[in-house]
Amino acid sequence: MKRNILLATLLMACCCQVVTAQTDDRKWQLVWSDEFDYTGLPDSTKWGYDTGGHGWGNNEKQFYTVKRLQNASVKNGLLSITAVKEKYKNAGYTSARLLSKNKGDWKYGRIEVRAQLPKGRGLWPAIWMLPTDWKYGDWPISGEIDIMEHVGYLPDSLFGTVHTGAYNHRIGTQKGNNIFRNDVSSAFHNYVLVWDENKMEIYVDDEKYFTFNNEKKTEKEWPFDQRFHLLLNVAVGGDWGGKKGIDDAVFPQSMQVDYVRVYQ
């Protein structure tokens, strides 16, 4: 009995250390999560779908499907978002784009996604956020937060980026940074956003590599005082993802997600 009590005490101590490390020494409380501890389609109380094959503003080549296990499924504790080379409606590839809109929407917090990325030229996985209410107007005025983007032709590179009316890629003023990891397609990493009224910080695991400060000017610089929701997707091709072409030999390829956790 004493041994069991000692083991339990040690386990509790270890857990407390992990929580402290994962919450940046702030008193965050878990408010939303998906641990993917079930089998089948993604939980419909937490995830919806964007669907279509119209290029998504980036000349992407995939058709995003809805409730199709070939493209979005949960098994063995993991969510798999899978890009497949196949003829489907007007496209030559299929994939999925999940979103938490109206099922998980937050203003400020810590968003943490543990994932392993697909591998191959032409793939463009992303973990990102869009405004739920678009209060200030259409993209990019109401903002976009790219917690993680990866393009297959740069296999060791990860990107964190913010878009606003004043800072966006259409006018070449977007704010962001990149970091290098040589195992993004063979190991899981934590992709993290820490966001409050003063700044955003983007991390890979425990390493912060991008900070975007609130300049306290107008919504053109900082539209991030509104609700945002999370998106998980794997695009194929596109202006950035397909810049060096698409290697059809790599398909199918999946982004696997171990968990999504949101703290406030």
Residues assigned a catalytic role: 144, 149
Residue 12's CB is within 10 A of a number of other CB atoms, namely 10
> Which residues contact residue 68 at a Cβ distance below 8 angstroms, ignoring those fewer than 6 apart?
94, 96
Read off the DSSP letter of residue 16.
H
C-alpha angle 107/112/117, rounded to 5°?
130
Angstrom distance (rounded) from CA 12 to CA 19: 11
Structure tokens at 141: 């005025």
Strand runs labelled E in the chain: 30-34, 48-50, 62-64, 72-75, 78-88, 91-95, 97-99, 105-106, 109-116, 123-131, 144-149, 157-163, 175-180, 189-195, 199-204, 207-213, 228-236, 253-263
CB 34 within 8 A of CB 259: yes
- Greatest alpha-carbon pair distance for the chain in Å reads 67
| Exposed/middle/buried for residue 250 (C-beta within 10 Å: 0-12, 13-18, 19+) | middle
Read off the DSSP letter of residue 142.
T
